[in-house]
Structure 1
Amino acid sequence: MNAIFGWSVLALVFLDELLAVAAFGVWGWDRDPRWLLVWLLPIAAMTVWFLLASPKAPYGGPVVRPLAKVVVFGLASLALWDAGHEGWAVALLVFSVVVNGLALLPSIRVLVEEG
């Protein structure tokens, strides 16, 4: 598969991760105490991602990594839904499934393992 396509997919995966973090911030903005949740929830999501789901996660593995991704993206979509952004929630969920599914292709996984 074309390396440009592979790196484009990986860039979209990174964008997806940023969108998930932003979704937690959106949900926190609608809750009290806003000043705390608007930054605490995204930091919690980033910490979970770093520890469990990133390619070099210290506690990731063949079972933990995919499970953590499902939980983070699922909760991010649920957070958007609960914040009243149903269309964005569905779009984020579909986008997450598609780009993370593409990232599992062997020709794209090789790019991650080389980096």
Structure 2
Amino acid sequence: MPDVPPAVGWTILALVFLDEILLVVAAWVAADAWGGPFAGVAAALVVVALWATFASPRAPYGGRVARPVTKVLVVLAACGGLAASGHEGAAAALLAFSVVINALGLVPSVSRLPGEVAR
């Protein structure tokens, strides 16, 4: 695959971050619909904790297996909860966006950008 220009790569990484925020919001909305405001806040905090622990680039327990498995489980849970709470269109759009943008984030010239800045 050809290298992605850095400006495009950083845009993709910004959209990956936006996706993470949207997943937290989706979990919040879904849990709020089922269990009220407290459940919504709790679900959002659980997603943030899971992501920070297993899925983020600096996750203490992230790895070749834990990181992608956590990402898939969080995306499926957030989108499934959103669909179950009556937001089927938003769930489908978020699922499609999550799959596409995270696949683009795996392109080698995109995924190595943060490491190049750290040097």
TM-score (norm 2): 0.92
RMSD of aligned C-alpha atoms? 0.9
5+ residue gaps, structure 2, are: none
Overall identity of the aligned pairs, in %: 44
Q: How many aligned positions are there?
A: 114
Question: Deviations along 1:78-110, whole A, 9 cap, x unmatched?
Answer: 011011011111110000000000000000011
Aligned positions of 1:24-103 closer than 5 A: 24-32=27-35, 34-103=36-105
5+ residue gaps, structure 1, are: none
Q: Is the 8 A contact 1:49 1:68 kept in 2?
A: yes
DSSP 3-state at the match of 2:98:
helix
Which residue of the partner structure matches residue 25 of structure 2?
22
User: In 2, distance between residues paired with 1:14 and 1:3?
Assistant: 16
User: In 2, distance between residues paired with 1:106 and 1:6?
Assistant: 10
TM-score (norm 1): 0.95
